[in-house]
């Protein structure tokens, strides 16, 4: 029997317990042994839960129980989740988690610690919820040099943008509705400002390139400034505005960023709507592959956490990939990036013609002129835009 | 150093050699050792190839070389590919392949043989080309009871259908163009009649349900009878016609089939066009996840074959899943299946009203009346349709 402990009995933690119960037989078949929840750590008691008798309040009980070989950290937040994970790994217990904050901030340290203690640290659920993406990226695409990853990594913002696109709602109205439906939190900053998506693209980039960039070093732009006019202009030109986390190999250096981007209708990511997530990976042999599914929610997230438990329980001897910390020299300068841009300006077409010369006009109404630039280096674009009264500027994917 | 042999130096085999060369360093890092192509088995010589000196014509050289630990079978066809795989496994050499025919017909035997000889048998490339789907289904979704798999599994037919849908070409014209572009073979039967898709859904079903159904037992319908009128009627009602391989759990029994089906625009599979493949998996925890990418082609297929080589080279001790042969009693009767159907008939709306009572009318022109039934058991549908002069009948996904 494989004994595990669940840290935190919130949405994800209780989902993990539920999936382990609901699919007990299937899991047993995969592992070749029974997976048993021995402890659940939480500050609260849950007298009405079928797991009531598993609840403990002192982490040391778990740490000191040699029968517990796997810890499922489902607490969220950096502390004490990181510290608890660290302590478990030091005891040779493997750790699985859905906690993107810990993985994005401290993944390199925890992977190292896992290797040093013959344990494993897995976090499939930290990106894309239940969508299998981290493991396929690290295994099925192992024969590829990864050129680029583009992902819709946050369901809340994708829901809000879909409401803006399909129903012409403003950001403010769509956000309020998302909060009412429980898709957005009372304080929605981490979602709408791209912080959550940023952590996830850092994790994807680390798997693809072997180096973990700290989220604080990633240019991150959210969706709170997206105007309905931009959504409409984009739609008329054949684009959906999506919050895209991007990790790109630029001449051997990593370019990582999060920003709302115009995704052409010919790209399937433009069709990934509502709370769904989608990750598109381009490898030098496989070309584009896309993974789509529910990026959040109790059961999808628990599905991925339990898959990690199954993986460890069935093959505890496997080694994890190791990550280095990304140094300044590993990172490409954003100013060097070449792309096309959507620009909306108050300055009018004549001014645009004078500054840009060539461009593709999109719309000219209500004193706003929208256009798409030719391919241009970001540094050069910024210089040109200084000469115009710019309302919006968004990169084209 | 890990020595491998490639059997067959056609499109896939040469792709495998090329990926191993092109991404040598990345692969070395993943494996922790160099992967070296020691032999290439082919009837021909390739004097101009950089691999000319690796070519051998006698399989025994490979079989009897203890340094060769992995054999990449890229020959296609059932024989001698199966026999060669069998012989390699008996010698304790692991085998990887893109050969869906061998896997669908003999996968259970080869997996058993692999286990008995402490070797591995992997075939990620046999379904969906470069798209990571078999390994994610077996690992990342291991915590799920799989309810249903629906896949666009054949690029040739998807290209033909896309041409019919987007450009109003007839099946015959689209097929001829596909042949000119090299997407369809001179004898296109295996593709257009669904035989290739059938092998692939058998493999997916085996991974999901642990039982291998022989392709000959699967109800398989191709696209050669799809009429342009049906494509247009479907489009007007919000559906794309796609050739769908389906594997479903029906009360604990497997229902496996291949048929052109109407896929609603709200289902992302309807947007998977041209030569792309897409596989949608529904699990009881994760809900729907979708994998999309290039289902064929030299480099994407080689990407998956090499990923299997990397997997084995890095972790030769892992155990394969084992499959039982699906018995009659494991299979659900197609007649019991409940679905909605698109029907086009010459009998006119009055006759349809008399026979079906309730239905959703789609189109009534040129002496053809098209409609969508309510949910109905297949056996009941067939009885009702006997009373009408039916031109087409397609299931709705």
**Which residue, among B236, B197, B219, has the nearest Cα to B363 in the 3D structure?**
B236
Taking the C-alpha atoms of residue A242 and residue B334, their distance in angstroms, rounded to an integer, is 42
Contact: A143, B310; criterion CB under 8 Å: yes
Of B23, B272, B284, the CB nearest to A145: B23
Task: Specify whether the CB–CB gap between B99 and B73 falls below 8 A.
Answer: yes
Determine the distance in angstroms separating the CA of A145 from the nearest CA of chain B, rounded to an integer: 7
What's the gap in Å between the CA of A295 and the closest CA on chain B?
A: 10
Q: What is the pLDDT of residue B319?
A: 80
Which of 310-369 (B) contact A at CB < 8 A?
310-311, 315, 317-318
pLDDT of residue A314: 86
Structure confidence by residue, pLDDT tens digits, A70-80: 999 999 999 99
Weakly modelled stretches of chain B, pLDDT under 50: none
Please state whether beta strands B35-41 and B2-7 pair in parallel, antiparallel, or not at all (unpaired).
Answer: parallel
Q: Distance between CA A248 and CA A242 in Å, rounded?
A: 17
Nearest to B315 among A26, A307, A318 (CB): A318
B148 to A149, A177, B16, B137: CA distances (angstroms): 28, 32, 32, 12
pLDDT at B127: 97
Query: So what's the architecture of A334-396 in CATH?
Result: 2-Layer Sandwich (3.30)
A vs B, Cβ pairs < 8 A, gives 183
Chain A: residue whose CA lies nearest to B266: A271
Residue ranges of domains in chain A: 2-130+299-325, 134-294, 334-396
User: Which of B293, B300, B307 is the closest to A142 by Cβ?
Assistant: B307
- Helices B155-167, B171-180: axis angle to 10 degrees equals 130
For the segment B181-210, what is each residue's pLDDT rounded down to a tens digit? 989 999 999 999 999 999 999 999 999 999
B304 touches chain A (CB under 8 A): yes
What was the pLDDT predicted at B57? 98
Cβ(A45)–Cβ(A69) below 8 Å? no
Which pLDDT does position A315 carry in this prediction? 82
Residues in chain B closer than 8 A to A29 (CB atoms): 210
pLDDT in the model for residue B222: 98
Q: How is residue A51 written in tokens?
A: 């797991």
**A321: closest chain B residue by CA:** B30
Query: How do residues B1-55 score in pLDDT, each as one tens digit?
Result: 999 999 999 999 999 999 999 999 999 999 999 999 999 999 999 999 999 999 9
Q: Rounded distance, CA A289 to CA B293, Å?
A: 4
pLDDT at B318: 81
The class that CATH gives domain B2-130+299-324 is alpha beta
d(Cα A316, Cα A376) in Å, to the nearest integer? 49
136-165 in B: which are within 8 Å (CB) of A? Answer: 136, 139-145
Q: Give the separation between CA B129 and CA B98, rounded to whole angstroms.
A: 8
Contacts of B287 in chain A (CB under 8 A): 130, 293-294, 297, 299-300
Fold of A2-130+299-325: Rossmann fold (3.40.50)
Token digits of residue A211: 């180096």
> Across B86-164, where does the E strand assignment appear?
94-97, 121-122, 146-152
Which chain A residues are closer than 8 Å to B286 by Cβ? 130-131, 293-294, 299-300, 303-304
Mention every residue, 6+ apart, whose C-beta is less than 8 A from residue B159. Answer: B174, B178, B183, B184, B274, B275
Q: Tell which wins on pLDDT, A111 or B334.
A: A111
- DSSP assignment of B67-104 equals TEEEEEE---SSTTHHHHHHHHHHTT-EEEE--HHHHH
Q: Tell me what percent of chain A is helix, strand and coil, each rounded to the nearest 5.
A: 40, 30, 30
- Measure the CA–CA gap between B352 and B295, rounded to whole angstroms: 40
Contact residues on chain B for A302, CB-CB shorter than 8 A:
143, 285
Q: Are the beta carbons of A395 and A261 closer than 8 angstroms?
A: yes
Peptide linkage before B226 cis (omega within 30 of 0): no
- The closest CB to that of B306, out of A135, A143, A311, belongs to A143
Q: Is B364 helix (H, G, I), strand (E, B) or coil?
A: strand
State how far the Cα of A109 lies from the Cα of A90, in Å rounded to an integer: 12
**Which DSSP category does B252 fall into?**
T
Rounded distance between C-alpha atoms, residue A369 and residue A230, angstroms: 11
pLDDT at A339 over 90: yes
CA B354 to chain centre: 40
Give how far B122 is from chain A: nearest CA, Å. 12
Gap between the Cα atoms of A290 and A272, Å rounded: 11
Mean pLDDT over each residue of chain B, to the nearest integer: 96
CA distance B272 to A98: 30
Q: What pLDDT shows up at residue A43?
A: 96
**A1 Cβ under 8 Å from any chain B Cβ:** no
The two structure tokens encoding residue B213: 């159904």
Phi first, then psi: give them for residue A109, nearest 5 degrees. -65, -45
CA atoms within 13 A on the CB side of B252: 2
Extract the tokens encoding A383. Answer: 């210089």
Which residue from B248, B144, B141 is spatially nearest to A23, judged by alpha carbons? Answer: B144
Q: What is the pLDDT, as a whole number, of residue B122?
A: 98
Instruction: Name the CA radius of gyration of chain A, rounded.
Output: 23
State the virtual CA torsion across B356, B371, B392, B176 in degrees, nearest 10. -170
Cα distance between residue B312 and residue B3, in whole Å: 12
Would you name the residues of B annotated as active-site residues?
Answer: 200
pLDDT computed for residue A334 by the predictor:
83
Query: DSSP assignment, residue B53?
Result: G
Q: How far is A196 from chain B (nearest CA, A)?
A: 21
Residue A330 to residue B10: CA distance in whole angstroms: 39
CA-based nearest residue to B128, from B295, B2, B241, B276: B295
Collapse the DSSP code of A236 into the 3-class scheme (helix H, G, I; strand E, B; otherwise coil) and give the result: helix
- Measured torsion, CA atoms of residues A243, A249, A253, A259, in degrees rounded to the nearest 10: -10
Substitution target from B143, B283, B290, B291 for chain A, most A beta carbons within 10 A: B143
Which pLDDT score, from 0 to 100, does residue A193 have?
98
As a whole number of angstroms, the distance between CA B391 and CA B348 comes to 12
pLDDT at A337: 87
Residues of B in contact with A30 (CB under 8 A): 142
Does the pTM surpass 0.90? The reply is yes
Q: Name the residue in chain A with its Cα closest to that of B279.
A: A291
Give the nearest partner residue to B303 out of A22, A135, A144, using CB atoms. A144
Q: Which chain A residue's Cα is nearest to B282?
A: A293
Residue of A23, A142, A292 lying closest to B30 (CB–CB):
A142
Neighboring chain A residues of B317 at a CB cutoff of 8 Å:
317
Contact A291 B290 (CB under 8 A): yes
Q: For the domain covering B134-294, report its CATH number.
A: 3.30.360.10
Residues of B whose CB is below 8 A from A285: 15, 19, 22-23, 130, 299-300, 302-303, 306
* DSSP string covering A48-91: TSTTGGGEES-HHHHHT-TTEEEEEE---SSTTHHHHHHHHHHT
| SS3 assignment, position B49 | coil
User: From the CA of B266, how many Å to the nearest CA of chain A?
Assistant: 10
Tell me the pLDDT tens digit for each residue of A236-277: 999 999 999 999 999 999 999 999 999 999 999 999 999 999
Cβ proximity of A389 and A349 under 8 Å:
no
CA–CA dist A135, B140 (Å, integer): 7
Q: Which residues of chain B are within 8 Å of residue A142 when distances are taken between CB atoms?
A: 26-27, 30, 306-307, 310-311
For residue A92, which phi and psi values (nearest 5 degrees)?
80, 10
Whether complex ipTM tops 0.90: yes
Nearest to B293 among A271, A289, A307 (CB): A289
Q: How many CB atoms lie within 10 A of CB B274?
A: 14
pLDDT at A172: 97
Q: Tell me the three-class secondary structure of B184-227, residue by residue.
A: CCCCCHHHHCCHHHHHHHHHHHHHHHCEECCHHHCEECCCCCCC
User: What are the tokens at A173?
Assistant: 């109205």
- DSSP designation for B147: E
Asked whether the beta carbons of residue B285 and residue A300 sit closer than 8 angstroms, the reply is yes
Count of beta carbons in the 10 Å neighbourhood of residue A67:
12
Pick from B255, B243, B278, B250: nearest CA to B202 = B255
Q: Which of A93, A106, A169, A200 is catalytic?
A: A200
Which band of pLDDT confidence, cut at 50, 70 and 90, is reported for residue A301? very high
d(CA A201, CA A217): 12
Element (H, E) at A302: helix A298-314
Note whether B286 contacts A: Cβ–Cβ < 8 A: yes
Q: What is the pLDDT of residue A335?
A: 83
Q: How is B319-361 classified by DSSP, letter by letter?
A: PPP--EEPPGGGBPPGGG-EE-EEEEESSHHHHHHHHHSSEEE
Mean pLDDT value of segment A225-238: 97
Name residue, tokens 């105007």. Answer: A227
Q: Is the pLDDT of residue A317 over 80?
A: no
């Amino acid at each position: 029997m494989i004994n595990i402990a669940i840290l935190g009995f919130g949405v994800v933690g209780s989902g993990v317990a539920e999936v382990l119960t609901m699919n007990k037989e299937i899991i047993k078949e995969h592992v070749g042994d029974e997976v048993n929840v021995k402890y659940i750590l939480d500050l609260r008691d849950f007298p009405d839960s079928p797991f009531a008798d598993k609840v403990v309040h002192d982490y040391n009980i778990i740490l000191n129980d040699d029968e517990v070989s796997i810890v499922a950290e489902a607490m969220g937040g950096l502390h004490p989740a990181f510290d608890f994970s660290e302590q478990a790994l030091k005891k040779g217990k493997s750790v699985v988690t859905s906690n993107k904050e810990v993985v994005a901030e401290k993944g390199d340290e925890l992977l190292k610690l896992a290797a040093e203690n013959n344990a494993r640290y897995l976090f499939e659920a930290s990106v894309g919820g239940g969508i299998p993406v981290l493991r396929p990226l690290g295994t099925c695409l192992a024969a590829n040099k990864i050129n680029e990853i583009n992902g819709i990594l946050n369901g809340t913002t994708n829901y809000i943008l879909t409401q803006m696109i399909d129903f012409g709602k403003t950001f403010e109205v769509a956000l309020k509705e998302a909060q009412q439906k429980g898709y957005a939190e009372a304080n929605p900053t981490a979602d709408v400002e791209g912080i959550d998506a940023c952590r996830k693209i850092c994790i994807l980039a680390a798997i693809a390139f072997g180096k973990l960039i700290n989220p604080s070093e990633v240019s991150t732009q959210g969706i709170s400034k997206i105007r309905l006019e931009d959504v409409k202009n984009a739609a008329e030109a054949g684009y959906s505005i999506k919050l895209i986390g991007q990790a790109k190999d630029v001449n051997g250096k990593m370019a990582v960023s999060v920003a709302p981007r115009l995704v052409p209708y010919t790209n399937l990511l433009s069709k990934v709507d509502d709370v769904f997530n989608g990750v598109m990976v381009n490898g030098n042999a496989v070309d584009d592959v896309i993974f789509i599914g529910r990026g959040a929610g109790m059961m999808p997230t628990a599905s991925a956490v339990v898959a990690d438990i199954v993986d460890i329980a069935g093959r505890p001897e496997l080694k994890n990939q190791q990550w280095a910390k990304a140094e300044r020299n590993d990172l490409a300068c954003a100013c060097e990036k070449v792309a096309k841009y959507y620009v909306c300006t108050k300055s009018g077409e004549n001014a645009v013609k004078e500054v840009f010369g060539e461009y593709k006009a999109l719309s000219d109404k209500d004193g706003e002129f929208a256009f798409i630039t030719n391919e241009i280096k970001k540094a050069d674009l910024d210089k040109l835009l200084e000469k115009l009264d710019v309302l919006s500027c968004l990169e084209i994917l």
